[in-house]
Chains A and B, each alone.
Chain A
Amino acid sequence: MHPLIAIAQLLLVVREIKGRKKLQKIVHILKDCGAPFHERFEYSFYGMYSQQIRTEIDALTEDDLVREDEFQAGANPAFSYSATPRLETLLTDMKMSDDPSWAQTARDLNKMEPQELECISTIRFLQGCGFKDEALRQRLGELKPHLKQLFDASLRAAIALPSFGK
Chain B
Amino acid sequence: MNESSGRISARGKVFRDPVHGLIRIESEDAVLLDLIDTPEFQRLRRIRQLGVSCLTYPGAEHSRFQHSLGVLNFAQRILAALEHRYRHESQAAQLIRDHAHTVKCAALLHDVGHGPFSHMIERAFGVLSDHEQRTVDVVMAPDSGVNQALRAHGVDPEAVRDLIKKASPHRLLVDIVSSQLDADRMDYILRDALATGVKYGAFDSEWLLGSLCIGSEPQSDNPGDPTQWRLCLDERRGLHSAEQLIVARLHMSLQVYYHRATRGWEAHLLCLFKQAAELARDSRLPGATPELVTRFFASDGGLSLAESLLLDEASLICAMQVWAGSSAEEHRDLAELSSAFLYRKKLYLGHELGGMKSGQAMRLAHDLHQFGKENRDWLLDPSEFSSYKDFDSIFATSRHKEAGRSSTAALLLSSGTLGEVSRPVEQDSAIFQTLGKSRGPTSGRVYSHRRISEKVRQLLAG
Contacts and interface: CB of A to CB of B under 8 A. Distances in A.
Interface stretch (A36-44, A104-112, A147-155): A36-44
B404 A90 contact: no
A94 B165 contact: no
Given A3-B384, A44-B408, A130-B161, A143 B362 contact: no
Interface string B198-229: 00000000000000000001010000000110
Given A3-B384, A24-B404, A51 B169 contact: no
Interface residues of B, number: 44
A52 interface: yes
B404 A139 contact: no
A126 B169 CA distance: 12
A42 B409 CA distance: 10
A2 B380 contact: yes
Contacts of B403: 45-46
Chain B interface mostly: helix
Contacts of B169: 139, 142-143
A126 B359 contact: no
A58 to B, nearest CB: 6
Interface of B: 133, 136, 140, 158, 161-162, 165-167, 169, 171, 178, 217, 219, 227-228, 357-366, 374, 380, 382, 384-385, 392-393, 397, 399-400, 402-405, 407-409, 440
B159 to A, nearest CB: 12
Contact of A129 (B161, B228, B402): B161
- Give the residue among B228, B364, B402 with the most A Cβ atoms within 10 A: B402
Contact of B399 (A2, A58, A93, A139): A58
Given A44-B166, A55-B440, A130-B161, 5 more contacts: A1-B374, A4-B362, A44-B408, A59-B358, A130-B136
10 tightest CB-CB pairs across the interface, nearest first?
A: A2-B365, A43-B166, A49-B404, A63-B357, A44-B408, A59-B358, A142-B169, A46-B404, A94-B366, A2-B362
A90 B400 contact: no
A89 B354 CA distance: 24
A62 B405 contact: no
A4 B385 contact: no
A85 B358 CA distance: 15
B157 to A, nearest CB: 10
B140 A44 contact: no
A81 interface: no
Interface in A25-79: 38, 42-46, 49, 51-52, 54-56, 58-60, 62-63, 65
Contacts of A60: 358
Nearest to A139: B167
22 contacts: A2-B361, A2-B364, A2-B366, A4-B358, A24-B404, A43-B165, A43-B167, A44-B404, A45-B171, A45-B403, A51-B405, A55-B384, A56-B384, A58-B400, A59-B358, A60-B358, A62-B357, A62-B358, A125-B167, A130-B161, A139-B169, A143-B169
- Give the residue among A45, A125, A126, A130 with the most B Cβ atoms within 10 A: A45
A51 B363 contact: no
B124 to A, nearest CB: 13
A125 B136 CA distance: 13
A139 B358 CA distance: 40
B359 A63 contact: yes
Nearest to B170: A142
A86 interface: yes
A143 B167 contact: yes
Contacts of B392: 51-52, 55
- Give the residue among B133, B360, B365, B380 with the most A Cβ atoms within 10 A: B365
A93 B382 CA distance: 22
Interface in A106-140: 125-126, 128-131, 139
Contacts of A3: 380, 382, 384-385
Contacts of B357: 59, 62-63
A38 B122 CA distance: 12
Contacts of B133: 128
Given A2-B362, A2-B365, A4-B362, A46 B385 contact: no
B407 A5 contact: no
A143 B133 CA distance: 20
B145 to A, nearest CB: 19
A22 to B, nearest CB: 12
A85 B403 CA distance: 30
Contacts of A2: 361-362, 364-366, 380, 382
A6 to B, nearest CB: 11
B361 A54 contact: no
A30 to B, nearest CB: 15
A10 interface: no
A151 B139 CA distance: 28
Contact of A42 (B136, B399, B408): B408
Contacts of B165: 43, 129
Nearest to A131: B167
